[in-house]
Amino acid sequence: MPDTASRTALARNERRVTGILAAIFGLRMFGLFMILPVFTVLGAELDGATPLLMGVAIGAYGLLQALFQVPFGMLSDRYGRRVLMVVGLLVFAAGGVIAASADSIYGVIAGRAVQGAGAVAAVIMALLADVVSEQQRTRAMAIVGMTVGSAFIVALIIGPALAAWLGLSGLFWLATGLALVGLLMTLLWLPEPQLRSREAQLPWRTRVAGVVRDPLLARMNLGIFILHAVLMATFVTVPGLLQQQLPLAQHSVLYLVVFIASLLVMVPLMIRGERRGLRGAKLVAIVLLLAAQLLLALGHKQLWLLTVALWLFFAGFNLLEALLPSLVGRVAPVGTRGTAMGLYSTLQFLGVFAGAALGGWLLQYQGAGAVFWAAAMLLVPWLLAALTMPPLRRLESRSLPLPPAAALAGWSERVLAVPGVLEAVVFAESGVAMIKIDPAEIDEAALDAAAAQLN
């Protein structure tokens, strides 16, 4: 059985890696978000700028992200998470330099596209799923999700002030600098754990086919596509509605208050989900989103109803942002986790593109109410899919002290030979390992014997 020192070392390592990954993700996303509230104003001054091309500049990032998530995730399965994070952050920084140096809208489009090609979101989430125990994974994903949400809110608040000081080019230079800070954090502080599982490394075609055909992963991918399509459709529409009832300078304050209030709903639901299973928390979150869209459709002309709807929306959205990647990490085997996260992130960014396009078209031709009714209709099949989702196999993570260096070479093979042990993650720097087990199948005596032999 794991000793207290091993559990403490594992918990310390989990907190450290979660904090580093959340900081890297947050810095990168803040660099992107601070462009959004000002680009349509400042971008109009670029040579050749038109509303269509400015839209292409904003969307180019999402499209390239969608294209490169699976390749980055697959490569991280084979060559390691940290090296792919380094490559992705360097590519993102290069795109920032291109955009910052551009005098025309076409140069900015090129820079945004190169930024999008640095698609490390799937790699970050796969690494988090690798190193955090089953019991703590939802909480760790929530920390990352809340960090990204906070970056979004802070960017909405200070982005215009930074733009007035630095200009559009300066914002791109700042985004580049933040990416380089994330790169240094990756190189200096982020570990590269050694992952072992019962399954040998599979050919890439087999991995992709397995991920695509998996019915549970398909439900997660459907969910993240709908979630981000609804997000973008909502925020194509809501700012204009708020503008009719509230001065622009007060929008950021409203968003901040609503975001903080949403945590009062999200955090208890997340804790309850960790204790009693994630399926119920997921269903509640989808219902919150559906209620928010119905309230927006029926009451978007009244400020107080808009505020209540946004509160419900952020509560459901933030909870699902934490739950869905945690579920993907639980369902996907370690040998295909990066691939699974890559496909998941691809559907996420395709949802961003589809939701923005559909929301804009409906808003222009049918009005704001049609956007929210369409978003509600999108949520219904997801709710039905979640209601019929079978229960997940309950797994646990345990910590074990590592054997002396001389015996380490065969450690994972012997432990993985124990019935019920599914995978092992070795943290050589911390002198501890994390194993994932199936409590229904684990042979406790064999596991104790295997651990005793190696000490």
Residue 15, judged by CB atoms within 10 A of its CB (0-12, 13-18, 19+), counts as: middle
3-state secondary structure of 246: coil
Nearest of 350, 348, 352, 374 to residue 363 by alpha carbon:
374
Strand 396-401 to 194-197 pairing: unpaired
Note the pLDDT of residue 147: 86
pLDDT higher than 60, residue 454: no
More confident residue, 274 or 344: 344
CATH topology for 396-453 is Alpha-Beta Plaits (3.30.70)
- For CATH 3.30.70.100, the residue range(s) in the chain are 396-453
For residue 93, what pLDDT band results from cuts at 50, 70 and 90?
A: very high
Max mean pLDDT range (87-91, 136-140, 231-235): 87-91
More confident residue, 134 or 116: 116
Is the separation of the CB atoms in 407 and 416 below 8 Å? no
Is the separation of the CB atoms in 393 and 442 below 8 Å? no
For residue 40, what pLDDT band results from cuts at 50, 70 and 90?
A: low
For residue 177, what pLDDT band results from cuts at 50, 70 and 90?
A: very high
Residue 300, judged by CB atoms within 10 A of its CB (0-12, 13-18, 19+), counts as: buried
- pLDDT tens-digit profile of 106-119? 999 999 999 999 99
- How far apart CA 66 and CA 80 sit, in angstroms, is 21
What CATH code is assigned to 1-197?
1.20.1250.20
What number is the average pLDDT over the span 257-272? 85
Is the separation of the CB atoms in 382 and 286 below 8 Å? yes
Whether domain 214-392 has CATH 1.20.1250.20: the reply is: yes
pLDDT higher than 80, residue 123: yes
CA–CA distance from 23 to each of 35, 193, 263 (Å)? 19, 19, 19
Q: Any alpha helices (H) in 244-336, and if so which ranges?
A: 251-276, 278-299, 303-331
- How far apart CA 161 and CA 37 sit, in angstroms, is 11
Nearest of 350, 203, 321 to residue 259 by alpha carbon:
321
- pLDDT tens-digit profile of 7-38? 676 678 888 999 999 999 999 989 988 887 67
More confident residue, 287 or 333: 287
The shares of helix, strand and coil residues in the chain, as percent rounded to the nearest 5, are 80, 5, 15
Note the pLDDT of residue 186: 96
- For CATH 1.20.1250.20, the residue range(s) in the chain are 1-197, 214-392
Residue 250, judged by CB atoms within 10 A of its CB (0-12, 13-18, 19+), counts as: exposed
- How far apart CA 434 and CA 196 sit, in angstroms, is 10
Note the pLDDT of residue 181: 97
Is the separation of the CB atoms in 430 and 36 below 8 Å? no
What number is the average pLDDT over the span 119-138? 84
More confident residue, 163 or 55: 163
Note the pLDDT of residue 179: 96
Average pLDDT, the chain: 84
- How far apart CA 434 and CA 416 sit, in angstroms, is 12
Note the pLDDT of residue 213: 82
Identity of the residue numbered 42: L
Is the separation of the CB atoms in 21 and 128 below 8 Å? yes
CA–CA distance from 25 to each of 28, 32, 136, 250, 407 (Å)? 5, 11, 19, 27, 37
pLDDT higher than 90, residue 259: no
Note the pLDDT of residue 200: 47
DSSP state of 192: -
For residue 227, what pLDDT band results from cuts at 50, 70 and 90?
A: very high
Note the pLDDT of residue 34: 86
- How far apart CA 341 and CA 337 sit, in angstroms, is 6
- How far apart CA 236 and CA 51 sit, in angstroms, is 15
- pLDDT tens-digit profile of 379-430? 999 999 999 888 777 778 888 887 776 566 677 778 888 898 888 777 776 7
CA–CA distance from 83 to each of 18, 68, 175 (Å)? 18, 15, 21
Note the pLDDT of residue 422: 81
